[in-house]
Amino acid sequence: MSVAKAHRPPDPSPVPSEAARLAEALIFCAPAPITEADLAARLGAGTDVPAVLAEIARAYAPRGITLARSAGGYAFRTAPDLAPALRGGAPEPRRLSRAALETLAIVAYHQPVTRAEIEEIRGVTTSKGSLDLLLETGWVRLRGRRRTPGRPVTYGTTPAFLDHFDLDAVSDLPGLDELKGLGLIEGRLPAGFRVPQPSDGAEADEDPSDDPPGPGGGVPD
């Protein structure tokens, strides 16, 4: 008489390493995406940080929370496929005016850019309020000053901007083909039209700013 095979329960999830547990806690508690360098400093010499991150990513891959690269670091984010089910639960964010949105786009793609250059690109005067609002949101910062007469201030985006728009670096901003695909650019474009390639590195004619970064700094006169 044959004996029926006993049902074998599924193998439990592998126990995470101590390094992965600590890294998981550090990422979870960090107020902003945490970099590999910061993790290496906390995990100790000799720790294979990429392997630890890969271990965490594998563990979270089938869950509702995943490990994602953002703003040059790592953070936990809700799984992209769950986005439709999560809409409507959060309070409506403050909407930017059209002028502020245009200014933000110009800063993002043309950085480092001065206020005069923003006005030249937009074709209209940029109000101090628009730049003040973008500085208050923490998405725009004072980058430096041009080595030209008057020493105009240059503006650029911040890690908070990258984090909010789920970008790892400014080079991940959508290019011309992507913008067309999103329906943001329509019709025939002028010959030679191109989307600028932004850079967050210091320019040859730019000195780092001594002005305090972050909200509340205000736009220099």
CA dihedral sign of residues 56, 61, 64, 68:
positive
* Closest CA relative to residue 70, chosen from 80, 81, 84, 62: 80
Give pLDDT, residue 208: 74
Provide the percentage of residues in the chain whose pLDDT is more than 70: 71
Q: pLDDT band at 175, cuts 50/70/90?
A: confident
Q: Could you give the maximum distance between any two Cα atoms of the chain, in Å? A: 98
Q: What is the mean pLDDT of the chain?
A: 78
Is the predicted pLDDT of residue 190 greater than 70, yes or no? no
Q: What is the pTM of this model?
A: 0.58
Instruction: Map tokens 């294979």 to a residue.
Output: 48
Q: Hey, what are 97's tokens?
A: 């005016």
Give pLDDT, residue 6: 45
Give pLDDT, residue 166: 82
Is the predicted pLDDT of residue 7 greater than 60, yes or no? no
Q: What is the mean pLDDT of residues 42-62?
A: 91
Give pLDDT, residue 11: 45
> What domains are defined for the chain?
18-80 (1.10.10.10), 98-208 (1.10.10.10)
122 CB neighbour count, 10 Å cutoff = 15
Q: What is the mean pLDDT of residues 157-169?
A: 87
Q: What is the mean pLDDT of residues 64-70?
A: 91
> Number of C-alpha atoms within 13 angstroms, CB side, residue 171?
4
Q: What is the mean pLDDT of residues 13-18?
A: 66
The percent of the chain in helix, strand and coil, each rounded to the nearest 5, is: 40, 15, 50
Query: Between 93 and 73, where is the model more confident?
Result: 73
Q: What is the mean pLDDT of residues 112-134?
A: 85
Give pLDDT, residue 1: 41
Instruction: Give Cβ neighbours of residue 143 (< 8 Å, ≥ 6 apart).
Output: 111, 112, 153, 154, 155, 156, 206, 208, 209
pLDDT in tens, 53-62: 999 999 999 9
Q: What is residue 87's three-state secondary structure?
A: coil
Q: What is the mean pLDDT of residues 3-26?
A: 65
| Alpha helix ranges (H) inside the chain | 18-29, 36-43, 49-60, 83-86, 98-110, 115-122, 128-137, 159-164, 176-181
Question: Would you say 100 and 134 are in contact if contact means Cβ atoms under 8 Å apart?
Answer: yes
- DSSP bridge pairs for 153: 145
Give pLDDT, residue 130: 85
Query: Between 80 and 192, where is the model more confident?
Result: 80
Q: How far apart are CA 212 and CA 130, in angstroms?
A: 19
Give pLDDT, residue 97: 83
